[in-house]
Structure 1
Amino acid sequence: MVDWNRIAKVYDPLKAGSIDGTDVEPHDRAVWRAMGARYKPNKGVVGDPLLTLFVSRLNPQTTEEKLHQVFAKFGDIQRLRLVRDIVTGFSKCYAFVEYKEERSVVRARRDANKLLVDQHEVFVDFEQERTLNGWVPRRLGGGLGGKKESGQLRFGGRDRPFRKPINLGAGPEQQRGGGGRDWDRGDRRDREGGDRYREHYYSMLRF
């Protein structure tokens, strides 16, 4: 638990399916599927992954031109790709934006997240597929953050980071009562209350 972190450094489907990254067995079938997946990043994708942002939760009507207009405010764009269905051509509501400079990527990730674009609050983060070792996409049971209609949650990302494990760094006092000074105060109150009760009880017996 010493190397625990709120954000995943290496992708592990089992940990991503756990609220604090400490699960030892999958709690839904999608995690089982992700653990058995042998996924390799799309070789057809070009560009520098370290200069690329992932943009999701887009309005289905949002176009490449609109995205370029919004994200060009943060720096010079090298290339922009709005992912569309190969058959229908409809937007899949997510895109990738590659900048020419690192400072532009950092600025856009910081300022464009939760920005309203065509009445939709977008989510912006660094690209994961080519930068996070072991990555498995949501369609194979993996992914980070967000929530599917099935209610399957995934943790370890910016949108839904891991929660701090309860037993992380717990000392003897915390393990006894989980609260250090607060536990001592509560324990002392209980003891004092019990002493007062016994004094009252024995005083009643004397009459």
Structure 2
Amino acid sequence: MEESQKHWSPYARKYDPLKAGSIDGTDTVPHDKAVSRAIEAHYEPPRNLKSKPERTLFVGRLGSKITKHDLKECFSRQGDVLSVKLIVDVVTGLPQGYAFVEMKNVEQAHRAVSRLHDVSLNGCRIFVDFECGRTMSGWKPRRLGGGFGGKKESGQLRFGGRDRPFKKPILPVYNQ
């Protein structure tokens, strides 16, 4: 086995906003302001968390009615859930639409990702993936212009995460 294949992984180990925002991974200059912002941004993941990053899952696209109990019930079918952290706005107390779920071990986390991604929970098709903030060096969250997701057809790979192909803008017609 070649040396490069020994270290191969289906998951990226280092985050590069330019490659994450590129359709084919060959861009050399940022194509929008968000990519530039992500390249210039400094982000330090929280260090005071007790959960283990390798078995912590990011759950997105949550509806406002989904509770910690709903998440725990859904994920407990795939293994033992140690903790659920539903992220809420510090000012309003309303849910932000995402959460972090810690499973008992890495195998259960892998099972949950493969079985629960794009599953309907209380009418919402949820997004489930591994936490990137503490496991991937150079990670930038979406609020800083980073993140993953989107579709090739839209030309904006980091945004959307759903099947939203690019549509031409509707321009007003002026009579001259």
Common fold by TM > 0.5: yes
Structure showing the higher helix proportion among its residues: 1
Using the aligned pairs only, state the percent identity: 49
Return the TM-score normalized by structure 1: 0.68
Aligned pair partner of 1:75 in 72, 79, 103: 79
1:124 aligns with 2:128: yes
The aligned counterpart of 2:43 is: 39
Distance 1:154 1:8 in 2: 15
- Residue aligning to 2:150: 146
Distance 1:20 1:102 in 2: 31
Question: Partners of 1:153 and 1:5 in 2: how far apart?
Answer: 21
Gaps (5+ residues) in structure 1? 161-207
- Displacement of 1:131 in angstroms is 0.5
State the structure with more CA Rg: 1
Please tell me the residue identity of whatever aligns with 1:57: R
TM-score (norm 2): 0.80
Give the letter aligned to residue 65 of structure 1. Answer: H
CA deviation profile, 1:97-138 (whole Å, cap 9, x unmatched):
001122211110110111110100001011111001100010
1:61 aligns with 2:65: yes
Deviation at 1:5, TM superposition (A): 8.5
Which blocks of at least 5 consecutive residues in structure 2 are unaligned? Answer: 163-176
Alignment RMSD: 2.5
Distance 1:20 1:9 in 2: 18
Aligned partner of 2:172 in structure 1 is none
Letter in 2 for 1:107: R
Give distance in 2, aligned partners of 1:139 and 1:27: 18
